[in-house]
């Protein structure tokens, strides 16, 4: 990975009334400020590695760009500030952000309940395959296996994990997925998202804008996320474990082959 999401740390571990010094890892969290044409716009709390992909995905999710070809320059400046210059600058940058339920305060400038077209995709996947993909995500979550305390997400074609990302913010992982996908020329439409974090309405909105028909998590969705998933045609799967999972919406996409 570019840069690092974790830092070495020394601590005392207690186990069965015994203590011992341990050399381990802890996750990093920094403010990532985004400036568009020199104008300060928004600051995201995120992991400090590969912030360019995070910013690129965030710009796409907020509708400022349609792809990397709309970006004239994207440069990381001092610390974790990123200067963005677009070929066609927006007349007015979005304002009045909505703070979402992210563990580090996700942010969006769009209405959570905005109308989005239904995701129509003929995707089907067996429960066993979905469980296997989630297991693969856990094995490839490099920073989590060393430090814990960080979220992971993956984009999959149903057979393999195409992209794996990690960040302290679960919302940020989906922005990172989209950013890396754009850089690698991968259209996320029709693919699958796997995530370690809770599926909130904001997470569901990001998946819908990527035209992803199925999002699966090791934990739970929120009620509003399920209401939006019903309306937008997205299959939501929660509590994916080695031998079990829960399909909450559009269950026809998850069936035995």
At residue 145, φ and ψ (nearest 5 deg) are -65, -25
Token pair, residue 36, equals 């568009």
- Do the two domains 30-108 and 127-253 of this chain adopt the same fold? no
Dihedral Cα 247, 253, 254, 257, nearest 10 deg: 170
Q: Which residue positions in the chain have pLDDT lower than 50?
A: 1-2, 98-102, 104, 109, 112
CA–CA dist 108, 197 (Å, integer): 18
Residue spans per domain, the chain: 30-108, 127-253
- Rounded to the nearest angstrom, the gap between the alpha carbon of residue 70 and the centroid of all alpha carbons in its chain is 22
The pLDDT score that the predictor gives to residue 141 is 93
CA–CA dist 32, 27 (Å, integer): 15
The pLDDT score that the predictor gives to residue 91 is 59
The pLDDT score that the predictor gives to residue 104 is 46
The pLDDT score that the predictor gives to residue 255 is 86
3-state secondary structure of 167: strand
Set 30, 86, 103, 231: catalytic member = 103
**Considering the domain 30-108 in this protein, what is its CATH number?**
3.10.20.10
The pLDDT score that the predictor gives to residue 105 is 52
The pLDDT score that the predictor gives to residue 235 is 94
Which helix (H) or strand (E) segment is 218 a member of?
A: none
Between strands 161-167 and 151-156, the pairing is antiparallel
DSSP strands (E only) in the chain: 6-15, 18-27, 30-36, 39-46, 71-76, 81-86, 98-99, 107-108, 151-156, 161-167, 192-195, 214-217, 235-238, 246-247
DSSP classification of residue 110:
S
The pLDDT score that the predictor gives to residue 19 is 66
**Considering the domain 127-253 in this protein, what is its CATH number?**
3.40.140.10
The pLDDT score that the predictor gives to residue 101 is 38
Residue 103 annotated among the catalytic residues of the structure: yes
Dihedral Cα 53, 55, 56, 59, nearest 10 deg: 160
């Amino acid at each position: 990975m570019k840069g690092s999401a974790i830092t070495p740390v020394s601590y005392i571990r207690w186990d069965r009334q015994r203590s011992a010094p341990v050399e381990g890892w802890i996750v990093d969290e920094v403010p990532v400020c985004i400036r568009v044409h020199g104008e300060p716009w928004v600051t995201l709390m995120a992991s400090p590695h590969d912030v360019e992909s995070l910013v690129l995905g965030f710009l796409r999710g907020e509708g400022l760009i349609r792809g990397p070809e709309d970006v004239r320059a994207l440069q990381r400046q001092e610390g974790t500030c990123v200067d963005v210059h677009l070929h066609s600058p927006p007349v007015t940058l979005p304002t009045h952000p909505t703070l979402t339920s992210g563990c580090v305060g996700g942010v969006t400038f769009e209405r959570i309940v905005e109308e989005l077209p239904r995701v129509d995709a003929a995707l089907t996947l067996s429960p066993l395959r979905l469980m296997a993909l989630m297991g693969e995500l856990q094995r490839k979550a490099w920073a989590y296996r060393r430090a814990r305390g960080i979220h992971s997400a993956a984009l999959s074609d149903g057979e393999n994990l195409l992209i794996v990302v990690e960040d302290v913010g679960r919302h940020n992982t989906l922005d990172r997925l989209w950013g890396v996908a754009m850089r690698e020329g991968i259209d996320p439409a029709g693919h699958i998202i796997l995530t370690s974090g809770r599926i909130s309405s904001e997470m569901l909105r990001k998946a819908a804008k990527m035209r992803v028909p199925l999002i699966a998590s090791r934990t739970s969705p929120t009620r509003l996320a399920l209401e939006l998933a019903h309306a937008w045609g997205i299959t939501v799967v929660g509590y994916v474990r080695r031998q079990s999972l829960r399909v909450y919406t559009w269950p026809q996409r998850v069936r035995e082959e």
